[in-house]
Amino acid sequence: METGLGSFIEQVLTRQGNDPGRLVQILRDVQAEYGHVAQRAIEILAERLGLPVGAVESTLDFYSFLTREPTGAYRILFSDNITDRMAGNQAIFDHMAKRLGVTRGVVSPDGLVSLDFTSCTGMCDQGPAILVNGMAITHMTLRRADQICELVRSRVPLVEWPSDFFRIEHNIRRADMLLSSDFMPGSALKAAIAMGRDAYLAEVKRSNLRGRGGAGFTTGVKWEAARNARGEARYIVCNADEGEPGTFKDRVLLQFYAERVFEGMALAGYVVGAKLGLVYLRGEYLYMRAQLEEKLAEFRAARLLGKSILGVEGFDFDIEIHMGAGAYICGEETALIESLEGKAGRPRIRPPFPVAIGYRGQPTVVNNVETLCKVTEVALHGGAWYEGYGTKQSTGTKILSVSGDVERPGIYEYPFGVRISQVLEDAGARNARAVQISGAAGQCLTSREFGRRIAFEDVPTAGSFMVFGDHRDMFEVARNFAHFFQHESCGFCTPCRVGTTIQAKIMDKIAAGHGTQYEMNELQHLREVMRTASHCGLGQTAGAAIADTIARFREDYEKRLARKDFEPAFDLDAALARAREITGRDDADSRLLSDA
């Protein structure tokens, strides 16, 4: 075992260039081979890479998809986003656990299988969804669960499972500027090269294209800042860590419009002067990596990547794919860069911003997948044309990931300024009670607000659009989000680490019927502490959904509240029952009297 492990690690390190900065990729490779990363593997990696053992352990323990302990030949993870719950994921989970004879999070005695939950897998339009050894399976039913149980029991290799299990649909319901257009690979690059770097940058700035990842920073200004910053090298990073619950547009763009994404990265490299681009692909999208690598190979063969792109001397740019390993926080650009450097993905203090000091300490542009697709449109049609779509402050179109209580979940593209009511009508929403915009960290709107518009100047969004019918309990929606943030907090700062835990516990206490007005007040107080004192956006927005639902759907909370001013969630007297049984005592002195 020792010889085989050491030999395999040497192969992995050689493939990864013996680079400590690629530690996350190295750990993924080791786990893919052995099912976990054993202590001896940690020690060998530390020695070979010249790192402290603690540094390797810190990175390993940070990511939910990496583990020190065996998880079985088949590791099955159920997506536990609120839309998966609405589709019945818990009943299917319980059914499968019973059929396989396993308890949540515990490997079966024969080491064959483990079953657990994970955060949103980006399949909200076709859930319930699961991951089996990292590969996505959608449209889970009791029948499909039974089929999977039989395959697992028979130890059928994953590559021999029915291919229809792994079919991922794009569900494009409404296409506009981007999704409906034909695109010839290389056309945008040729157009930009014909303009020249400065002229093309001017067109991007004129378009007023704003980032589609949520923050909405102007793309041309970001590119110019990175180009003008001091550094020995420059990098372009595609943020494909699409972890916000309810968001799946980037998944569709990567799977069905990858040439747009890669060409957009090359355009950014052309303007900024970068020679390397990095796609940070979330671990849940492992299934598309081979396809993306094939597309990159096609681009290199066509001289759209590599040395002297399209014959332009000095225009050298290539792209690598780096896999995430299960960490929502890595969607934050500085946490993503930390992960790219092989470390735990904890956000950096800003400033300095990545455009000045980013990946490996060099100027770095981090753009969202959708943003990179959009820059190809500007190259082909010009900034004035692009500016003609949408609104003054929100130009172009926006792609929305619509899921929940709608007849037609999927991808919808509209010019900015579309009313929420129009989206609901197109998606077939009936009697919608609420819409959660921009995921768990976004805002919850009631039917009285459906006349508002999707735009940076009204309702901004990274793309998530979750619909809840009038039969839904908004307390349970907020409770799901509370547990999501508790799970995904990186633990770096106390307000977020402790605050998200207390928040989830209070929501559980209210759900159990022990909540009072005291807990309601504490939720509001916690929200303010986390919002003002947390290190990054995760903690700052972790209480937003609860605050919104308390303000708009207070009745869903109050119907659960006890009458007392305060009621402890822990019943000490009941906990002493076992002690009374063992000692044979049941007298007054052995009990806690509620009325002294």
CATH assignment of the domain containing 451? 3.10.20.600
Interacting residues of 199 by C-beta distance below 8 A, sequence separation 6+: none
What local confidence, expressed as pLDDT, does residue 582 receive? Answer: 81
- Whose structure tokens read 């056309």? 187
pTM given for the model: 0.92
For residues 365 and 432, state if they share a domain.
Answer: no
**pLDDT tens digits, one per residue of 65-99:** 999 999 999 999 999 999 999 999 999 999 999 99
- The reply to whether 286 falls in a domain is yes
Q: Answer yes or no: do 275 and 380 share one domain.
A: yes
What pLDDT, on a 0 to 100 scale, did the predictor assign at position 471?
96
In a domain, 501, yes or no: yes
| pLDDT at residue 59, as a whole number | 98
DSSP alpha helix (H) spans, 450-493: 474-488
What pLDDT is attached to residue 593?
Answer: 53
Q: Tell me whether residue 67 is in a domain.
A: no
Q: Residue 576: what pLDDT?
A: 79
Same domain, 200 and 187: yes
Averaged over 477-495, what is the pLDDT? Answer: 95
Whether residue 133 is found in the same domain as residue 208: no
- Give the count of domains, the chain: 5
Same-domain check for residues 359 and 501: no
Average pLDDT over residues 312-331: 97
What is the DSSP secondary-structure string of 40-68?
HHHHHHHHHHT--HHHHHHHHHH-TT--S
2-11, 82-91, 427-436, 495-504: the lowest-pLDDT one? 2-11
Query: Does 579 map to a domain?
Result: yes
Question: Is residue 177 pLDDT above 70, yes or no?
Answer: yes
- Tokens representing 508 are 């559980």
Write down the mean pLDDT value for the chain.
Answer: 95
342 and 246 co-located in one domain = yes
Helices (H) and strands (E) in the chain, counts: 25, 14
595 has pLDDT over 60? no
How far from each other are the two terminal CA atoms of the chain, in whole angstroms? Answer: 65
Q: How far is CA 485 from CA 398, 440, 488, in A?
A: 26, 8, 5
Please state, in angstroms and rounded to a whole number, the distance separating the CA atoms of residues 6 and 9: 5
Alpha-carbon distances, residue 161 vs 129, 132, 157, 285, 321 (angstroms): 16, 11, 7, 18, 26
Based on the fold, state whether residues 150 and 217 are members of the same structural domain: no
| 410, part of any domain | yes
pLDDT value, residue 434:
98
What CATH number has the domain bearing residue 586?
1.20.1440.230
pLDDT at 588 over 80: no
Would you say residue 68 lies in a domain? no
Pairing of strands 432-437, 464-469: antiparallel
Q: Tens of pLDDT along 245-293? A: 999 999 999 999 999 999 999 999 999 999 999 999 999 999 999 999 9
Within a domain: 69: no
| Average pLDDT of the residues in 358-384 | 98
Nearest to 359 by CA among 15, 12, 18, 22: 22
Q: Which domain CATH number covers 349? A: 3.40.50.11540
Residue-wise pLDDT tens digits, 34-71: 999 999 999 999 999 999 999 999 999 999 999 999 99
Q: Which DSSP string do the residues of 519-541 spell out, in sequence order?
A: HHHHHHHHHHHHHHH-SSHHHHH
Neighbouring C-beta atoms of residue 130, cutoff 10 Å: 28
List pLDDT tens digits, range 448-467. 999 999 999 999 999 999 99
Q: Is the pLDDT of residue 469 over 60?
A: yes
Structure tokens at 484: 């999501």
The model's pLDDT over 495-525, given as tens digits with 9 standing for 90+, comes to 999 999 999 999 999 999 999 999 999 999 9
Q: What is the pLDDT of residue 128?
A: 98
pLDDT for 440 equals 94
Say if residue 521 is in the same domain as residue 585: yes
Please, which pLDDT band fits residue 596 given cuts at 50, 70 and 90?
very low
Residue finishing a domain among 439, 469, 499: 469
What CATH number is given to the structural domain containing 79?
3.40.30.10
Residue 443 and residue 313 in one domain: no
Domain-ending residue, one of 169, 196, 228 = 169
Identify the helix (H) or strand (E) that includes residue 5: helix 2-15
CA distance 91 to 85: 9
Residues 363 and 231 in one domain: yes
Q: Quickly tell me which residue has 């003002």 as its tokens.
A: 532
Cα distances (Å, whole numbers) of residue 429 to 171, 422, 451, 455, 542 = 16, 10, 15, 21, 27
Q: Are 165 and 223 part of one and the same domain?
A: no
Cα 215 from chain centroid (whole Å)? 15
> Where residue 22 falls among pLDDT bands split at 50, 70, 90?
very high
Per the structure, the complete domain to which residue 137 belongs is given by 74-169
Same domain, 558 and 447: no
Average pLDDT (324-334) is 96
Among 420, 439, 469, give the residue marking a domain's end.
469
Instruction: Indicate whether 290 belongs to any domain.
Output: yes
Residues 6 or more apart in contact with residue 375 via CB below 8 angstroms: 188, 204, 209, 219, 264, 267, 268
